[in-house]
Amino acid sequence: MAASGGGGRAIRVLNVAEKPSVAKTVSGILSRNQGLRMREGRSRYNKIFEFNYTIQGQPCQMMFTSVTGHLMEMEFEGRYRKWHSCDPVDLFEAPIRKHVPEDKLDIRKTLEEEARKCQWLVLWLDCDREGENIAYEVVEVCLNVNSRLNIWRARFSSLIDREIHQAAQQLARPNQLFSEAVDVRQEIDLRIGASFTRFQTMLLKDAFDFNFSTDGRNLILSYGPCQFPTLGFVVERYWEIQAHEPEEFWKIQCSHTTDEGTANFNWMRGHLFDYTCAVLLYEMCVEEPTATVTKVKKQEKLKYPPHPLNTIELEKRASRYFRMSSEQTMKIAEDLYQSGFISYPRTETDSFSTRTDLHILVQEQQEHPVWGPYAQRLLDPSSGLWRNPSGGGHDDKAHPPIHPTKFSAGESRWSEDHKKLYELVVRHYLACVSQPAVGAETTVEIDIAGEMFSALGRTIVAKNYLEVYRFESWGGSLIPNYTFGQQFTPTSLTLESGITRPPPLLSESDLLDCMDKAGIGTDATMHDHIKKLTDRFYAIKEGSHFKPTNLGEALVMGYDDMGYELWKPYLRSMMEEDMKAVSIGNKRKDDVLATCLQQMKACFLDARVNKTKLFQALEIFFDRTNRTTGGDDQHNHAQQLVRKCDVCHDSDLVLRKKPDGKFMIGCSGYPQCRNVIWLPGSISEAVVTTTVCNICTPGPGFMIQFTFRRLEIPPNFNVHHLGCVGGCDDIMRQLIEMSGSGQRNTSSAPARGRGIAAPSRNDSRNNNTNNQQQQQATCSFCHQTGHNSSDCYSLTSQNRSARSQRVNSNNGDSPIPCPTCGSLCVLKTANTESNRGRKFYSCQTQGCKFFVCWEDSVPTTRGGGSGSATTTSRRGGRGGGGGGGQGGGDVRFVSATGDPVSGRSCFICGDPSHFANVCPNRGMRN
DNA sequence: GCAAGGTC
């Protein structure tokens, strides 16, 4: 700002902060606590501080008060606020207004009273987009009562003396673009949220018998651009788990024990899914069990302490360490903050400003009976324990990372959760300013009969931060000393089996991570979105993991079947990009609003036309009620007879109008008879006439006079149509097909499970024809019935390519390209007692685990007796989950058809009474 | 009775 000339009469300045605590702190800093007075405002939380200050030579009489976040809310005007006052689609254009809600009126009153007395208004809101928007809300209120106000913006990124004084001396103007970006978000959120929520709720709430208790609450099937993608994450993981098919795998384990300890060597192939391959390799190892050390690598490893704590990390860690919900964490953190024990808990920042005095914070903790001694050592330069914390690269420019602000050895009023959370904040802070843990790691690799194994030994040289951060550990294991070229005989060498496991349900920590990565919600709201899922009966929490309810799954399924990704995070990400463009002036507010709302309205209309998908999805889980219309429907017309029901031959098909204004024809014998004919969503009126169709049987079938909405049907169709729903009417049939509706299949309930992880438009779970075809199919690959080769269990993308390479280009002697890593696989011949002469391909690249048996020489284990080479090994499990957990289990001998083989003797000792996996001599052979 | 964002 320009200098205002010094020395004149003091001007009165109204200063407004985003929250009471900032008003208090900034007042303290600016006044240097000299002559600082406090008086009550109209709101009990928002006090007014008074002091004198000089801005660029201009004496100022400062009045410093605050708001509590947003002062205003956006809402629909008058008649659009009632749910049944309008068609939900009208909410995309309905007039909206920003207004001060009831519970903020007292704050407005304070602002008005103070603004009248002042010449300047200085806005001390947080320096982010929301803060700028709140600034304009304050401006609007103040200008209303004093249009001559000179308006300034103070920009500061932390509550540090120098920065606050600097902000006061370098006042600027508020940034309109930042504020407009928030206006865009608010309007889009409101219009999309309200329209879809009303649509879903009115469509489905009374149409199904939701078999869960709502605890007396009104059931609302809400939609929101943050809550739905959050639900999407939960459902997607659930589907991934359901789609998982366990697979058995095999691996060779080797251990070696000496006086110095035990080394457990892991097979560098990981595990193989093919039993024959695994046995073949295992036998080779057992035949020539001498291990040769091929590599010994010793190095120092550091384990670094975590970055300074921000909100998401606090929530994730409290969930992991204490199983505390993010909602509870924030509630407790807020309480600790309010009582002055920790810093502001809603922050994205994970690095400390260089101006923060980090030592003072440690000094305060020296007295603590448990971690006090550690704090003392930290402060002792001779300990060498101190380290300036590294930052995680996030900075909201408004708040520091969460850290302790006041010492406490535990307050009497604290709950267990208070104690845990305070301890986490303190220990985390102490860890941040500590040296990393130091370990000495030894990696040893050995070769047994050409197979590679590796073992890792670690000793912790210095625990450092791990001493105070008890929530983390660093496993260490001592292994014997090895030298390059050394040979030894393993103590045990076993072939073990396991099965792949699906990934777990999403934990709260996982969910926060998904949201954070996808930009769903803000650090201050993420826990609200998670809680909303349980409040709306969309998900339940099992321990610390989230599982979708039938309702949550059905809603996502419905939209997925429509082909919409409303439950995916992309919509929010696009909005976020647009907001950013508005805030930097690359896009205009009105353009973004118009484009986004136009797209969402088209999507809404389309969803409404395709609402049968939602019905079908919900029917998988819930019974229909006979309340096909909402009980509070003002537009409910009398039912009109169309014809006799052709399914139950007992009741009548009747025309009804539903609460959302749409028409349907259903059997009056519902729920005993569920025959229903869905009509196009483009109908605005429908009246059964007395005209009888003379084509359709059984008669009489009364024709219906339809009126369609012009914009929702193709131009070549007439808006008025006297139609028949008995099957003779091509126009009706075409319109129904266009809207994706049709008569529901009443013969059987759709299959409930879905075997997919990825979104599918055309999956066959509701398609009986597909299922029948599947059951009759014979796989051309494994020759088993019940599936086609495209779905063959034995056929992943990897072994598909292996197969085609084998068939197309190889006669069995020359190297083949490795389907896994692209390198070469060479043909080898086994030379063990039981497998002598058998040929197999093995990839030459170290670390690549591709391995395939050659069909002429080895029988297959899967896929029947065709002799096809299905014996391809595979790496890892599905879904990138690292192959899942590993179960124990016995080694079984299996035949080419997969049946256990009897009469086979142990290949280690030859005893027919047992198999090699339980052979007493299996550990070793001399 | 709807959203998400502030904050108490």
Q: In what order do the strands lie in the sheet with A640-644?
A: A640-644, A652-657, A663-667, A676-678
In whole angstroms, give the CA distance from residue A278 to residue A282.
6
Report which residue type is found at A582.
Answer: V
Under 8 Å CB-to-CB from A145, ≥6 apart: which residues? A112, A115, A116
Is it true that the peptide bond before A490 is cis, omega within 30 degrees of 0? no
pLDDT value of position A233: 97
Q: Which nucleotide is nearest to A522 (CA to C1')?
A: B5
Tokens standing for residue A707: 């009126």
CA distance A562 to A739: 11
A447-480 as b/e: b if 16+ CB within 10 A: bbbebbbbbbbbebeebbbbbbbeeeeeeeeebb
Backbone angles phi, psi at A298, to 5 degrees: -115, 130
β partners of residue A55 = A58
Give the C-alpha separation, A626 to A664, whole Å.
13
Angstrom distance, A553 CA to B8 C1': 35
Q: Report how far residue A42's alpha carbon sits from residue A62's, in angstroms, rounded to the nearest whole number.
A: 18
How crowded is residue A446: how many other Cβ atoms within 10 Å of its Cβ? 26
Q: Which nucleotide is nearest to A131 (CA to C1')?
A: B6
How high is the pLDDT of residue A801? Answer: 26
A793 included as an active-site residue: no
Query: How many whole angstroms separate alpha carbon A325 and alpha carbon A542?
Result: 12
Q: What residues pair up with A64 in beta bridges, in sequence order? A: A15, A49
Q: Which nucleotide is nearest to A197 (CA to C1')?
A: B2
Distance of CA A915 to the CA centre of its chain: 46
Bond prior to A373 in cis (omega within 30° of 0):
no
The 10 Å Cβ neighbour count of residue A287 is 18
Angstrom CA distances, A24 to A49, A450, A514, stand at 7, 73, 37
Protein residue minimizing CA–C1' distance to B2: A194
In the set A80, A136, A238, A344, the catalytic residue is A344
How long is chain A? 926
Cβ atoms A446, A437 nearer than 8 A: no
Report the distance from CA of residue A491 to the C1' of nucleotide B2 in Å, as an integer: 68
Which tokens in the block code for residue A118? 């002042």
**Low-confidence residues in chain A, pLDDT < 70:** 1-8, 627-640, 648, 650-651, 657-662, 667-676, 678, 689-691, 710-712, 715, 719, 733, 735-822, 825-926
Rounded CA gap, A576 and A842, in Å? 50
In angstroms, the CA A266 to CA A259 distance is: 21
With CA of A82 and C1' of each nucleotide, the nearest comes out as: B1
The bridge status of strand A437-448 relative to strand A120-124 is unpaired
User: Measuring CA to CA, how many Å separate A851 from each of A9, A12, A661, A842, A856?
Assistant: 89, 82, 63, 5, 16
pLDDT of residue A838: 57
Our measurement of CA A470 to C1' B6, in angstroms, reads 35
**DSSP character for A403?**
-
CA torsion A23→A27→A30→A33, rounded to 10°? Answer: -150
Helices (H), A485-610: 508-518, 526-535, 550-562, 570-583, 589-609
The span from the CA of A48 to the CA of A39, in Å, is: 5
Residue nearest B6, CA–C1′ metric = A69
Q: How far is CA A596 from CA A524, A580, A711, in A?
A: 25, 14, 20
Q: Say if CB A385 and CB A375 are below 8 A apart.
A: no
Separation between the CA of A129 and the C1’ of B6 (whole angstroms): 11
Separation between the CA of A69 and the C1’ of B3 (whole angstroms): 17
Chain B nucleotides close to protein (CB under 7 A) are 1-8
Nearest nt (C1') from A126 Cα: B6
Which amino acid, A136?
Y
Of all nucleotides in the shown strands, which has a C1' nearest the CA of A198?
Answer: B2
Measure CA to C1' and name the residue nearest B4: A189
User: For residue A117, is it left (φ>0), alpha (ψ between -120 and 50) or beta?
Assistant: alpha
HEC sequence for A437-497: EEEEEEEEEEEECCEEEEEEEEEEEECCHHHHCCCCCCCCECCCCCCCCCEECCCEEEEEE
Query: Which of these, A425, A426, A436, A350, lies nearest to A391 by C-alpha position?
Result: A350
Peptide bond just before A700 cis, omega within 30 deg? yes
Q: Which has the closest alpha carbon to A396: A130, A18, A24, A73?
A: A130
Distance A522 CA to B6 C1' (A): 11
Distance A225 CA to B4 C1' (A): 8
Position A635 scores a pLDDT of 33
- Tokens 């045990």 correspond to A492
Please give the Cα distance from A562 to A617 (Å, whole number).
10
Report helix, strand or coil for A235: helix
Strands A487-488 and A451-462: unpaired
Asked if residues A490 and A254 have their Cβ atoms less than 8 Å apart, the reply is yes
- Which run of H or E residues covers position A53? strand A48-55
What 8-state DSSP symbol labels residue A134? H
The SS3 call for residue A33 is coil
